[in-house]
A and B are shown apart, each in its own frame.
Chain A
């Protein structure tokens, strides 16, 4: 609501009158039902302060302010309804299953035992994922901690660069990325590759620099969705690959013999 008033008009309000306006902005639903006295009591402003603020805003009084607020709330409710497209959840479920099918039947899934072995054998293990890919990385790291293979997980490039720079051929990095082209992701992989560490990537683009650098590239198929240039690709299949990797890690756990329980 506050954005409806011009700056030069708002600048004429006293601090007390502005305080009331900020309070009203935060309590639109309540103000819509309150009398002047109730609004004054709740906002710790006096009724004359509120009336004066309304006059300065070129309104006839508190009643007109309340009318404006009610209209604004009504408009929001209508906008929420108007914005709904005809998209149905069945389409979302179909897309999710199609992506899962493409991922889980991909030939790269045959590399899971190799990935699990590399993770168990690594002296130093780092997980890296940025943006929405941070969460499949977090999901895997939580399981790794619970099954006795702790790792370091980073969100910020400088820290992953620092660790990758100290890698040797006995270390490994697992990188989650939808596009496999963002600079921090490619740079981290490049540093790790230079130091001959094992690179495992879970990525949606086989042609990406990340996939080409990775020794073990696991494909996580995902539709591309960008709204207002913001990446909204689903990361479900990255989670699914991480989940399948946990199963494989449990199978490949060193010292795991049939009939023994894993020490988790």
Chain B
């Protein structure tokens, strides 16, 4: 498991998180005590993890898990999301040094390939254009055969950044291919149990709020990580005149 995954979580919380992700069907029916007993931790760990993930406590987290389990719940009945808490949770999930290392690699390496599909691809296109504006050219591709060709023909110095909420499907295959070719792989995912984390040299985590259908799950966590990389790059590697002004209420 890469360092990033263990950044803000204790080992007990990490074990618990893995248990929750691999028993997604049964966990929403368990109380905090029952879950703690099954995962081999204390009830306090369950509550602490829920808070770290941006929920007020386990009750709210369990409700979110229930929404994932029963995606047919009506949209009208969905509680209001706390996007601010989700954004804060994404920031807490990753170690600053991993984002800095990612930004520095973008400056050091000649070839950087960004790969993601669907809505995640849109988040990466944002990163690609931001970096381009900051004088850091990258190659941004959807997770199709073209990406496979780009990875297959990339030099040994290339960096491949793969983003996927589920950490599965085509993006996972492309990360595996890049890893097998010995390329440096950076992953952004919302799933700790995905094989994607095993193929990554740096693994960055992003929250993903479920909606009524997994196709429309929020990708804001991925955008937040991409934005942190972009900001870090532009501030650490800029040359020339800088004009900054802080936003006010």
Q: Measuring CB to CB, which residues of chain A are less than 8 angstroms from any residue of chain B? A: 29, 77, 80, 83-85, 87-93, 95-102, 104-106, 132, 134-136, 138-139, 142-143, 146-147, 204, 221-232, 234-236, 239-240, 243-244, 246-247, 250-251, 253, 256-262, 264
B91 touches A97 (CB 8 A): yes
B5 contacts the other chain (Cβ, under 8 Å)? no
A228 touching B72 in the complex, CB below 8 Å, given contacts A240-B87, A246-B216: no
B123 contacts the other chain (Cβ, under 8 Å)? yes
B232 contacts the other chain (Cβ, under 8 Å)? yes
Instruction: State which of B76, B212, B224, B243 has its C-beta within 8 Å of the C-beta of A264.
Output: B212
B122 contacts the other chain (Cβ, under 8 Å)? yes
B232 touches A89 (CB 8 A): yes
A83 touches B240 (CB 8 A): no
- A45 vs B68: C-alpha distance when bound (angstroms): 62
CB distance from B28 to the nearest CB of A (A): 18
Instruction: State which of B123, B129, B235 has its C-beta within 8 Å of the C-beta of A92.
Output: B235
10 nearest A-B pairs in the assembled complex, by CB-CB distance:
A250-B75, A87-B235, A92-B231, A228-B240, A135-B126, A89-B96, A224-B245, A89-B99, A221-B247, A93-B91
A80 touches B228 (CB 8 A): no
Task: Tell me the count of chain B residues lying within 8 A, CB to CB, of chain A.
Answer: 65
B83 touches A100 (CB 8 A): yes
B43 contacts the other chain (Cβ, under 8 Å)? no
A88 touching B96 in the complex, CB below 8 Å, given contacts A93-B91, A143-B216, A239-B223: yes
Instruction: State which of B91, B231, B239, B241 has its C-beta within 8 Å of the C-beta of A83.
Output: B239
Q: Point out the residues of chain B lying under 8 angstroms from A106, CB to CB.
A: 249
Q: Point out the residues of chain B lying under 8 angstroms from A85, CB to CB.
A: 235-238
Within 8 A of A (CB), among B198-239: 211-213, 215-216, 218-220, 223-224, 227-228, 230-232, 234-239
A225 touching B76 in the complex, CB below 8 Å, given contacts A96-B87, A96-B231, A231-B133: no
- In the complex, the chain A residue whose C-beta lies closest to that of B243 is A226
CB distance from B165 to the nearest CB of A (A): 13
Q: Could you pull out 18 A-B pairs where Cβ atoms are within 8 angstroms?
A: A29-B157, A85-B235, A87-B235, A89-B228, A92-B227, A93-B228, A96-B91, A96-B224, A102-B247, A104-B83, A138-B125, A229-B241, A232-B130, A232-B133, A240-B87, A256-B74, A256-B75, A257-B76
- In the complex, the chain B residue whose C-beta lies closest to that of A85 is B236
B247 touches A88 (CB 8 A): no
B146 contacts the other chain (Cβ, under 8 Å)? no
A262 touches B75 (CB 8 A): yes
B244 contacts the other chain (Cβ, under 8 Å)? yes
Q: Point out the residues of chain A lying under 8 angstroms from B219, CB to CB.
A: 139
CB distance from A256 to the nearest CB of B (A): 5
Residue among B84, B126, B130 having the largest count of chain A Cβ atoms under 10 Å: B126
Instruction: State which of A92, A136, A139, A243 has its C-beta within 8 Å of the C-beta of B228.
Output: A92
